[in-house]
Amino acid sequence: MVRDGARPGEHKYVAVRAYLADLVTTELAVGDAIPSERSLTEKFGVSRMTVRQAIDALVTEGVLERAQGRGTFVAPPRADFEMRLTTFGEEARRRGLTPGATVLRCEQLPAPAVVAEALDRETGTPVHHVVRLRTADGNPMSVEESWIPVDLAPDLLDDGVPDSLYAALRERDLDPTWGEEVITAADATPEELEALQMQGSRAVMRTARRTFGGDAAVMYSRACYRGDRYSVFVPLREARPTLVPRARPSDGDAGRPVQPSAPPGRIPEGSPR
Amino acid sequence: MVRDGARPGEHKYVAVRAYLADLVTTELAVGDAIPSERSLTEKFGVSRMTVRQAIDALVTEGVLERAQGRGTFVAPPRADFEMRLTTFGEEARRRGLTPGATVLRCEQLPAPAVVAEALDRETGTPVHHVVRLRTADGNPMSVEESWIPVDLAPDLLDDGVPDSLYAALRERDLDPTWGEEVITAADATPEELEALQMQGSRAVMRTARRTFGGDAAVMYSRACYRGDRYSVFVPLREARPTLVPRARPSDGDAGRPVQPSAPPGRIPEGSPR
DNA sequence: CAGGAAGAGTGGTCTAGACCTCATGATGTG
DNA sequence: CACATCATGAGGTCTAGACCACTCTTCCTG
């Protein structure tokens, strides 16, 4: 149970937020009303603005919905309106499958131009290189190739290839925080057909992903999935016009790191604006 | 130019927000600081909480960034952390290509089971059915098939197939607000190979999309893109744990429409949590 | 019994301050 | 000259109210 008062040093709205979050996960169901703002005001001995700040945060997260004149309610779980930086293993487990991996290659080499560019490094920078066959319940699902700059995690592969590269990065304070992925469809190469034990169909889905921790690219990876066994679900938000800042006055840089360019390869055609 | 005062009936924070939005698009560049909160307080003759409400909105939208002790700045354009509900035409134009469409079929028929399920209707419900070949700068890019319940827009195709089905829906107050899409890779059928004038490669990317306006499904569509000319860019957010409301106490419904189920077809493997 | 009015309760907006932490640059001081 | 200190000003949190708009229920009236 969450204590009603704020711990010393903890902001009051954080305490209210925590209380509401706990309420939502343990007591309330979708559609239920939370206590009114004024009653929370009394319960916590804070002003209404503070209560609203806590509720605002949860509304922004999509956990709660306000309805003027009626109250504030637990929002229905939205299909999750964002793609997430998940790994093959996490995805498989989430679907009740047992993930597996067979290491096909594991080496350290100078980064090829394409890889170096994706990692924002110089060509030839030493990188770890791992190629794995990924399976779900023992069935081959994809061939996955990853590159990670050696200087970020020199001992990454000292104890063999870790089950999860993301987890290994997190242990080294290189938490993956965001990424970008390009998806294409293509014919499998003979090697891929062989590795994935594909019969009949030849189409595969290829992905190229850049993973970032903070402002730096920490990993570049490509995967090749069986077209007949893999699909991607993408929730789509309304295409609202976005506010675009004025162009740079003359030239000069922006004074901060600039948006990384699109991943190498063909110009993306689908999606964002 | 935006007036400094609020128009009668307009909320004050809306006026401040509009002023800042205008400032960002016409005067400031990425990294520039906006006026301090206290100076905006004087400029608009409002309290600081009101100014903060306006700034909060823009921060939530990703337009501005706060930095305690330093100021509030124009945020770098985020790679756009969401896929958007865009159409082939909008996407093509955004990339400087000229979109085109050839209508291959246009008819009204009873909804097949799969289509009906995707639209949350009974099998056999009358639907408009349109099949179009989509081109960019004259080059065939995809074959697109759409189904729309007739009762939502009886006169949709009376004047021929509109250039944009989404625009036609908007005109009828059926604004598409969100959607969900499943992407797969597959071998093209002989008909598709022919229509798309594909040579050499046979792989295509298939998409199945449900488009929703409000709570109702307004359109189901499938597309088949040339694998060698089309790719999808997907920005990925960190996989944070999400707040999950308590399960329904006993049974009964949630008192509001429930999250629509996943689109028909194979179980999605990639993406959201 | 039907319809409308009133009241209570909810979130929405807003004020005019307060004190806090943090970043930065100017000012001294060793 | 290098470093510590301090003043300034930025955003962060918080108060104790106020009035408005909206929804719903209850109760009164025709």
Tell me the per-residue pLDDT of B138-170, one tens digit each, with 9 for 90 and over. Answer: 999 999 999 999 999 999 998 889 989 999 998
Q: Which of A84-88, A129-133, A139-143 has the least mean pLDDT? A: A84-88
pLDDT of residue A249: 53
Residue B269 pLDDT > 90 = no
Which residue of A lies nearest to B251 if distances are taken between CA atoms? A29
Place of tokens 């009873």: B110
Nearest to A91 among B90, B229, B270 (CB): B270
Question: How near does any CA of chain A get to the CA of B247, in Å?
Answer: 6
Q: Which residues of B touch A232 (CB under 8 A)?
A: 182-184, 234, 268-271
Nearest to A232 among B30, B74, B183 (CB): B183
Mean pLDDT of the residues in chain B: 84
Tokens of B107: 């008819």
Percent of chain B scored above 90 by pLDDT?
60
Question: Which positions of strand C lie within 7 Å of protein CB atoms?
Answer: 9-18, 21-24
Inter-chain Cβ pairs, chain A and chain B, closer than 8 A: 319
- Helix, strand, coil share of chain B (percent; to 5): 25, 30, 45
Q: Tell me how crowded residue A12 is: count the other CB atoms within 10 A of its CB.
A: 17
Q: What domains lie within chain A, and their CATH numbers?
A: 12-74 (1.10.10.10), 79-233 (3.40.1410.10)
CB proximity list for B248: less than 8 A, separation 6 or greater: A29, A30, B254
Closest nucleotide to A47: CA versus each C1': D15
**Measured torsion, CA atoms of residues B169, B170, B175, B178, in degrees rounded to the nearest 10:** 70
Q: Cα(B177)–Cα(B216) distance, rounded to whole angstroms?
A: 10
Q: Cα(B101)–Cα(B220) distance, rounded to whole angstroms?
A: 18
Q: Which residues of A touch B267 (CB under 8 A)?
A: 95, 231
Residue A4 pLDDT > 60 = no
The pLDDT confidence band at residue B225, using thresholds 50, 70 and 90, is very high
Asked if residues A103 and A149 have their Cβ atoms less than 8 Å apart, the reply is no
Question: How near does any CA of chain B get to the CA of A245, in Å?
Answer: 4
Tokens of B163: 């250039």
SS3 A203: strand
User: B205: which strand partners?
Assistant: B185, B225
Q: Which residues of A touch B247 (CB under 8 A)?
A: 29
Q: Which residues of A touch B255 (CB under 8 A)?
A: 31
Residue nearest to nucleotide D12 (CA to C1'): B68
For A247-264, the pLDDT digits (tens) are 655 443 333 333 333 333
Indicate yes or no: strand C within 7 A of the C-beta of A23.
no
How close are the terminal C-alpha atoms of chain A, in Å?
A: 44
Amino acid occupying residue B12: K
Quote the Cα angle for A107-A112-A114, to 5°.
Answer: 125
pTM for this prediction: 0.76
Indicate yes or no: strand C within 7 A of the C-beta of A59.
no
Nearest to B77 among A90, A181, A259 (CB): A259
Q: Which residues of B touch A189 (CB under 8 A)?
A: none
pLDDT of residue B90: 87
Distances, alpha carbon B86 to alpha carbons A185, A190, B167, in Å: 20, 36, 11
Indicate yes or no: strand C within 7 A of the C-beta of B78.
no
Which residue of B lies nearest to A261 if distances are taken between CA atoms? B79
Separation of CA B174 and C1' C3 in angstroms? 34
Q: What is the DSSP string of B49-75?
A: HHHHHHHHHHHHTTSEEEETTTEEEEP
A79–B29 C-beta distance less than 8 A: no
Residue A18 pLDDT > 50 = yes
Q: Tell me how crowded residue A45 is: count the other CB atoms within 10 A of its CB.
A: 11
